[in-house]
Structure 1
Amino acid sequence: MGTALRANSFVAVLICIAVFLAGCIAYMNSIESDTDFKGEETTVQTNQNDTEQYTQDTEISDVINDTAFGDYGRLIFPVNSSYYSGDTLGELGLTWYNNIDPDKTVEIANYMKSHAENGGVIFFDIYTDEEKAADHAKEDTGLFFFKGNPGERFAVCNAGGGFAYVGAMHDSFPHALELSKMGYNAFALIYRPGAETACEDLARAISFIFENADELEVNTDCYSLWGGSAGGRMAAWLGSYGTAAFGEKDLPQAGAVIMQYTGHSEYSQSDPPTYVCVGENDGIANWRTMEARLNRLNELGIPTEFHHYERLRHGFGLGMGTVAEGWINDAVNFWENQMQ
């Protein structure tokens, strides 16, 4: 009995030792495996950050052809490449524009790439495939979305370009990005050349946003229309005449129009509240013409605000590093006053 008991005890001890050693080996393997996995993941992530971040030295063509953007990357810069110059983001130049900020260009490109790669929808078609097949020019249209707070009001930003091209990277993307940082939902429209077609595209864009307001998580009350140069005319025309005048449903009027550097002189008694800013050295849009229009709106009892800046030329965009820097805050305050 004693010998058998000792034998059984010895076997039990051996089994315990074997189980213990197996557990230790499994544990060590799991640690090594976990360490290897985490190390690989960290390395991949670091490499992705190193390779995916755009810089001022990034080729414009690399942004256009980046797979993160699918087939709409070509719309980030003017479709007609003759209207921009430079090979890299830092060298970007746009016809009729001044004070282009390379840092802002890089920030916008990285914002778009980051959101697109993380599953965010940053671009919407405003025309159906059938409509684009019937009019191929509509293939070069759409809305870039800079999302703000869910349920917040929206703005549509329209770049200029003499109705020949769309200078969005300097004249609407920066505005939309800053508005989104303030919590507002901002869209930047890429439209067809020509004053009439551009306004039709803006009317369609407004209709698209209204029709998809729930999915986009936007508040359609007191929305605003923004624009510089030709884009300013678009905003003013839609503000004055409404969406129905350009082939869409009759939708509520914009709560405010924000215009930059355009010699637009038309107005009506039903124009929305209007904010304007322009440089005194603008050789394309005379600041006195813009001031005269606002004076007439003022006489009709329409709220207005006007700013002109010394020595500033046409197409200064956000005016970073100029006497106009910060004007967008004044414009937002003006818009917010109309919400009350």
Structure 2
Amino acid sequence: MGTSGLHSACMALSMLLSSASIEADESRGTQSNGDAAMHVERHSNERASAHLRPDSRIADMLGTPAFAGFGRLLLPWDNRAYDETMRLGDIGSLLPYHSHVDPMNVVSALNRMIDDVNKGETIFYDFYTEAQKREDPTKENTSLFFFRGKPGAPFAVVSPGGGFAYVGSVHEGFPYASEISSRGYNVFVLRYRAGYGARVATEDLAGAISYIFKNAGALGVGIRDYSLWGSSAGARMAAAIGSHGGAAFGADDLPRPSAVVTAYTGHSDHSSTEPPTFGVVGEQDRIAPPSLMKRRIAALRQAGAEVEYHKYKGLGHGFGPGIGTSAEGWIADAIRFWERHMKNSSHQLRRNAMGKSRID
């Protein structure tokens, strides 16, 4: 072999070895905040993850280094074999109780998560310990996805819907969190146990709130004036905690949220002391008819709660952010409602030049 050929072969071998050495490295770390132990899934990648597009496939998303170790928890169904050739633009077909799934909105939220990991931030947290998971294996697929806002700002927990059969985070979780966190707030999207009913899912929400309170310092979030957001099944969970508190669901006895945001739910239960509640529903919703939601809103008013209620024309169930519909902009309205009912936050909220609230 001549000098030129030997040089080429060496270059090829060097590139092959270099390529093979690049892989995502996962490690679980433990941090402490007082007596509370944080169980954190840390993901360190030697290369930045590329953005996804609507024509990217599920396989592309699952193979994204930023999502190593938890990629399948981004998807709605547990223990399901997905067609990994499906494009993300068609992901709405996996969400039978949802409508108006906007591919660009879905992908934009996923890319926000990728960007955060590329910046070295942790976005995935286990709120149950490994011991708790061993004791109850149904807790294996639970988690919190963290969208950071301003350090020390109040937090929100978003519980997506899915009829307690699946968790529609790609439509009712990550896009909500991306918008809310863009206003400076810290937002967690809850992956709860699906297939076990409302009580178990609400226990997961209560446990997640306790985890956030215990680890607020390490997470960099304020525990005053937090809010709970939920859509459909997730709205039942948020409303239940608002009515009865986390202790009623096996968690710590903590302050109630400063606001509860509920989207298209038939939930009817309420207590004599309700937090301020914001509700939205589609005029043509046959799963959670507006009449049911309006009835609960009236009961909350009668109990003395501050409420705001919106019914949108031409919409059925599960419209999520409502991009391109009569409901578009409702998340911004809900944020303003939350802000109006913040009582203890030390943050001053101002309007920026674009009319959006932000934290200074």
Distance in 2 separating the partners of 1:79 and 1:98: 17
Consecutive unaligned residues of structure 1, counting only runs of 5 or more, are: 1-47
Instruction: Give the letter aligned to residue 336 of structure 2.
Output: N
Of residues 52, 55, 75, the one that matches 1:54 is: 52
1:249 aligned onto 2:235 = no
In the TM superposition, what whole-angstrom CA distance separates every residue of 1:258-287 from its partner, at most 9, and x where no partner exists? 000011111111111100000011110011
In the TM superposition, what whole-angstrom CA distance separates every residue of 1:126-176 from its partner, at most 9, and x where no partner exists? 111111112222110000000001111000000000111100100111111
TM-score, length basis structure 2: 0.78
Distance in 1 separating the partners of 2:66 and 2:175: 20
1:177 aligned onto 2:175 = no
Give the aligned partner of residue 64 of structure 2: 66
Distance in 2 separating the partners of 1:84 and 1:298: 45
Q: 1:297 to 1:51 in 2, by over 3 A?
A: closer
1:262 aligned onto 2:265 = yes
Of residues 324, 330, 333, the one that matches 1:330 is: 333
Supply the RMSD in Å over aligned alpha carbons: 1.9
Give the structure with higher Rg (CA). Answer: 1
Distance in 1 separating the partners of 2:328 and 2:133: 39
Counterparts of 1:270-309 in structure 2, within 5 Å, are 270-309=273-312
Give the aligned partner of residue 149 of structure 1: 150
SS at the partner of 2:311?
Answer: strand
Instruction: Give the letter aligned to residue 77 of structure 2.
Output: V
TM-score, length basis structure 1: 0.83
Contact 1:98 1:315 in 2 (8 A): yes
How far 1:309 moved relative to its partner? 0.7
Which one has a larger percent helix, Structure 1 or Structure 2? Answer: 1
In the TM superposition, what whole-angstrom CA distance separates every residue of 1:234-253 from its partner, at most 9, and x where no partner exists? 00001111111111110111
Give the aligned partner of residue 89 of structure 2: 90
Give the aligned partner of residue 8 of structure 1: none
Contact 2:49 2:114 in 1 (8 A): no
In the TM superposition, what whole-angstrom CA distance separates every residue of 1:179-230 from its partner, at most 9, and x where no partner exists? 0001110000000022111011101100011001111111111110000000
Distance in 2 separating the partners of 1:326 and 1:154: 20
Contact 1:78 1:166 in 2 (8 A): yes
Contact 1:65 1:74 in 2 (8 A): no
Instruction: Give the letter aligned to residue 305 of structure 2.
Output: I
Instruction: Give the letter aligned to residue 338 of structure 1.
Output: H
How far 1:68 moved relative to its partner? 2.1
Contact 2:177 2:187 in 1 (8 A): yes
In the TM superposition, what whole-angstrom CA distance separates every residue of 1:19-39 from its partner, at most 9, and x where no partner exists? xxxxxxxxxxxxxxxxxxxxx
Q: 1:192 to 1:76 in 2, by over 3 A?
A: same
How far 1:80 moved relative to its partner? 3.0
Instruction: Give the letter aligned to residue 75 of structure 2.
Output: F
Counterparts of 1:1-340 in structure 2, within 5 Å, are 52-80=50-78, 87-93=86-92, 94-193=95-194, 194-340=197-343
Contact 1:64 1:77 in 2 (8 A): no
Distance in 2 separating the partners of 1:297 and 1:214: 34
Instruction: Give the letter aligned to residue 334 of structure 1.
Output: F
Instruction: Give the letter aligned to residue 89 of structure 2.
Output: G
Contact 1:78 1:84 in 2 (8 A): no
Contact 1:258 1:275 in 2 (8 A): yes
Distance in 2 separating the partners of 1:50 and 1:186: 23
Distance in 2 separating the partners of 1:338 and 1:83: 44
Distance in 2 separating the partners of 1:151 and 1:54: 30
Distance in 1 separating the partners of 2:81 and 2:198: 18
Contact 1:84 1:95 in 2 (8 A): no
Consecutive unaligned residues of structure 2, counting only runs of 5 or more, are: 1-45, 344-360
Instruction: Give the letter aligned to residue 242 of structure 2.
Output: G
Distance in 2 separating the partners of 1:113 and 1:337: 32
SS at the partner of 1:244?
Answer: helix
How far 1:84 moved relative to its partner? 8.1
How far 1:323 moved relative to its partner? 0.4
How far 1:83 moved relative to its partner? 10
Q: Work out the percentage of aligned pairs sharing the same amino acid.
A: 48
Contact 2:274 2:303 in 1 (8 A): no
Instruction: Give the letter aligned to residue 58 of structure 2.
Output: I
Q: 1:90 to 1:229 in 2, by over 3 A?
A: same
SS at the partner of 1:113?
Answer: helix
Distance in 2 separating the partners of 1:252 and 1:166: 26
Q: 1:275 to 1:83 in 2, by over 3 A?
A: farther
Distance in 1 separating the partners of 2:265 and 2:170: 18
Distance in 2 separating the partners of 1:70 and 1:49: 12
Which one has a larger percent strand, Structure 1 or Structure 2? Answer: 2
Contact 1:83 1:165 in 2 (8 A): no
In the TM superposition, what whole-angstrom CA distance separates every residue of 1:9-62 from its partner, at most 9, and x where no partner exists? xxxxxxxxxxxxxxxxxxxxxxxxxxxxxxxxxxxxxxx999822111111122
